[in-house]
Structure 1
């Protein structure tokens, strides 16, 4: 027994010695990153916030992704072996999967090496139609796949999705080949299959860790570059390299940007990922984030608008930061910030002439340029069109029916019976008080947005109440159509105008249609454009649809923000991508490049 025990101790000592030697030879490369709001969970079927999806994109894998350097964004295979074979009529997609892709090891697989198959993708997409999950991403497949809507209707009646029921539109030819049959022409499906909610989730993981609804917010297990190894809710997430991820080599061609040549020289031939560990911290306060980056405690930093003056002058890095080797990657985000009014709200909603006039008056009274200056320190560009720059279908020459004109806005309210009482506040045409509840986030920029909007409503003689909510609660209320009005923000899921025009589509209420706008005229135009490839004919339909939104006072466009990303001198190969949420797998760290104080 003593001999056996001694042997065990000797083996353990040797293992420790070997580990120390390996650690000394190859230190763990750790990237430190910050997000400005708490995550909500990591189930791809239910997560809809930007920050949680950073983790989802790292842990899970979609069939397609985007070339790291190509601009405009270029679709490339991820788990798929190649781009899809698409029939001439755009209604049949044949997709082949790379063989030998493995899920990260997990007890759910009972010690087996679990290979990814096309059945995992189909199962994951069917989860979006499971009524127990109330997924906000069902719209990605609604009306698209032969037999899928019927399966969804049956699921709603039964209260759960029947995963044993075959959907005719998902034809699995073999474990690695899937043929998708569409109900109508759609040339954007490849981009949809690059979006986070369409990643592959293993059924065994859902059955082991899922809650009563079948949601798996805390145990993400995927085939991506990384796996989640630590999670302190609302505070810290740690990702480590997926030990069974297939070997990949960094091999991207430079584009027109002169910086691309430098990035290629730094990264070509390196393994993907080159970084072993990602530490993500949640820091809500602007100043705390900035101090963390200044002190070297953060490697890659999203410089939000309120902090821009600390690092930028005229859109360029301050000389003192450039002298320290700090790097700046800057672009106009493929996103929009717009203002919506809930069509179900008792004070703002409806299609009567009075309510339409009220919403249009508010739209004309709001000074977007002032909001950009005060809230974002000028780090945004005003836009009038719902499709932002960098996205197919954007119209830079569009001008709104509701331009900034406070005087005209007040006259419009007078004309439609919104009279001021003795107290100076307007009342509804029926004599009832007119009070608008504007909802904002709790952090500083939410407070500033509320004050800018208070000025707008005061200029109209309308009482405004500011309801402040933490981000997760705001998203949940929005999905229930319980937010009266706020600044909505949408980051491109895929770089096509369809992704932005669907934000006002009636059937998308309770998911992405935050204002719960339901208008048969708009819906018909959207459906017509949805079945068309990009081009002048589709653009003409989009123009009609946008004019309809403006005439009904459904929304007011605001701006697209600049994305300013700062990187320490030790970060190699970084360039902000217009669609990917994070670029961790495609960059590297070199501690020897750190500037000494």
Structure 2
């Protein structure tokens, strides 16, 4: 079930996570993630082994990693058994020429969708397909959301983009004819990719769908005249070498994926993370993937019909997060001292609940350039800390998110190196460790911090004016009930609140210009490394510094933080890097940069015949691991959808009760008439 239709299915253009649900089943990027292991572990997917990294100096000579590194060259070996799905773009005649290339729109007018083409073809994945796919990221006509970021790293990408911008576009442009300095095809199964400097996290980017292989023939096929008018595009009909292929794309109704008959040999992992064996997550170890032949995604616009069909067994899995089931939350769940649990009726169905703390963070941040709450003096830190203590995140999550969130003592969420649990992980400036748990520091302590900050009882000691803070909120994201709760929270320390609601465009404009005091934002992991979260406070990411849509919306500037972050960005994993990450978290806490933060937690439900439902958090390429017990599914559907016959029997008895007296009276009259007639 899907809450909204996908807008883009071209891996160079798509950026939304719900689109990735489809793309990650159809395409295979060079790298991927182990399904079960935690912390998250990279594994080769489209390539045979992990890329070999060579470090080069300015002259292109090999140097040691600790040397004067100007470039890093990644050598990738494409696995020889990788093969594309059957597709008309790869169909050829006896001479090896493409079957479906047309000179005019009228020639191909009879083809309305991909299934209309009578013949298909396929071939092995080549190294050049990966090169071609990366070149598409740099094509300014496509407008890839990754272009700006990748051009900072991939050698020659900026120049390649500038060159293509000057090329006339009246027909298909063969990108093979335009070299990019940082890309090289060594042979049919080998390519190299060169980036500037040393950036160990780049290997994580190779696990993203943006780096999926794209055959030039596919790009050429979709540029046939008139095809775009009928949605015959890569953005509508993706072509990949992954475990599934698209059979039907009706985004306003349903999307159907079926097994790719050419998918390489791949098997369910035989080892997992802690607890996987006991949890039964290795039952299918060693089985050939994918485990199902077909997956149907239907668009359900209403929550209640969706939920009813799920309970009737007509959907295998529920709407995937607590937001999608929020309207039926009270029917589905109960909130107790141990958190969210399934209600009795749902539990009786044998439904499996998979709570999942996402590798992400949502937060309200201070604008460090604001004259009231910003600044780096001790008084300003104490003011921000008082506000942090007053905002009871635990209560806020319990009331408004029904417990589906965890207070975030650091910017690094669970599952990411640098996140610490238990007493070692609390923020000692806002919490204490008491009786084996984290307890928020008292309101009295918050009031004392306000006194030390120059605001006794919430009033400026110099002017006597009450302290008022301004929170920029998105109109559709915060309710009156939420704002009333915040009013009471800050009112405990005498602080007044004024809300400035606006739509997203206006809010974004305020962030870009630094015209906020307190704002809301969030970030979900692109890859499982602390750098992917700590960069949210890196000063060059401030919109006011980079003059761009930077991620440091707090405009936080701290020389030690910036220097440590630069070292973390280029350092390999190890104790030295861990110590630097810990210090970055400590600086974040000392400076009290965000008002509050929490790690989002989603709830996923599956009917009892569905197995291997463990959530991953980073990768969406998990459909191939899902298994279905179809015999149980049919039995449960029959059991849960028994025809209700008692109303028919009751209605029949009622009719009998109503009609029988009339029949009896009629017969009596008839008998009486017969007797009278006889006596005459």
**1:538 and 2:577 aligned:** yes
The DSSP-based 3-state class of the residue aligned with 1:197 is: helix
The DSSP-based 3-state class of the residue aligned with 2:296 is: strand
Contact 1:136 1:511 survives alignment (8 Å) = no
Q: Closer, same or farther in 2 for the Cα pair 1:500/1:245, shift >3 Å? A: farther
Cα distance between partner residues in 1 of 2:481 and 2:178: 51
Aligned counterpart for 2:333 among listed residues 302, 307, 311? 311
Q: Closer, same or farther in 2 for the Cα pair 1:518/1:572, shift >3 Å? A: same
Residue number in structure 1 paired with 2:269: 252
Residue number in structure 2 paired with 1:526: 565
**1:205 and 2:219 aligned:** yes
The DSSP-based 3-state class of the residue aligned with 1:385 is: coil
**1:578 and 2:587 aligned:** no
Residue number in structure 2 paired with 1:407: 447
Q: Closer, same or farther in 2 for the Cα pair 1:258/1:537, shift >3 Å? A: closer
Contact 1:64 1:77 survives alignment (8 Å) = yes
Residue number in structure 1 paired with 2:396: 371
Residue number in structure 1 paired with 2:311: 294
* Shift in Å, 1:325: 2.1
Residue number in structure 1 paired with 2:648: none
What is the CA deviation profile of residues 6-48 of structure 1, one whole-angstrom value per residue up to 9, with x for unaligned ones? xxxxxxxxxxxxxxxxxxxxxxxxxxx344x664433333433
Residue number in structure 1 paired with 2:437: none
Cα distance between partner residues in 1 of 2:508 and 2:123: 34
Cα distance between partner residues in 2 of 1:401 and 1:156: 53
Aligned counterpart for 1:192 among listed residues 195, 199, 205? 205
Contact 1:237 1:280 survives alignment (8 Å) = yes
Contact 2:455 2:467 survives alignment (8 Å) = no
Q: Closer, same or farther in 2 for the Cα pair 1:474/1:245, shift >3 Å? A: farther
TM (norm. structure 2) is 0.67
Q: Closer, same or farther in 2 for the Cα pair 1:155/1:249, shift >3 Å? A: closer
State which drifts further: 201-210 or 76-85.
Answer: 201-210
Aligned counterpart for 1:169 among listed residues 182, 193, 196? 182
**1:515 and 2:529 aligned:** no
What is the CA deviation profile of residues 239-263 of structure 1, one whole-angstrom value per residue up to 9, with x for unaligned ones? 3225454243433113342556734
State which drifts further: 101-110 or 150-159.
Answer: 150-159
Contact 1:334 1:492 survives alignment (8 Å) = yes
Aligned counterpart for 1:278 among listed residues 296, 301, 310? 296
Contact 1:308 1:379 survives alignment (8 Å) = no
TM (norm. structure 1) is 0.75
Cα distance between partner residues in 1 of 2:254 and 2:521: 27
CA RMSD of aligned residues (A): 4.6
The DSSP-based 3-state class of the residue aligned with 1:325 is: coil
* Shift in Å, 1:62: 0.8
The DSSP-based 3-state class of the residue aligned with 2:255 is: strand
Contact 1:525 1:545 survives alignment (8 Å) = yes
Residue number in structure 2 paired with 1:390: 415
Contact 2:184 2:193 survives alignment (8 Å) = yes
**1:178 and 2:188 aligned:** no
Q: Closer, same or farther in 2 for the Cα pair 1:352/1:361, shift >3 Å? A: same
Structure 2: runs of 5+ lacking an equivalent: 56-63, 66-71, 91-97, 101-119, 431-440, 641-680
Contact 1:441 1:447 survives alignment (8 Å) = no
What is the CA deviation profile of residues 436-491 of structure 1, one whole-angstrom value per residue up to 9, with x for unaligned ones? 3212655xx8777666555556663121033466xxx7998799779956543333
State which drifts further: 263-272 or 388-397.
Answer: 263-272
Q: How many residue pairs get matched?
A: 548
* Shift in Å, 1:177: 0.8
Could you say which structure has the larger radius of gyration?
A: 2
Residue number in structure 1 paired with 2:659: none
Contact 1:517 1:554 survives alignment (8 Å) = no
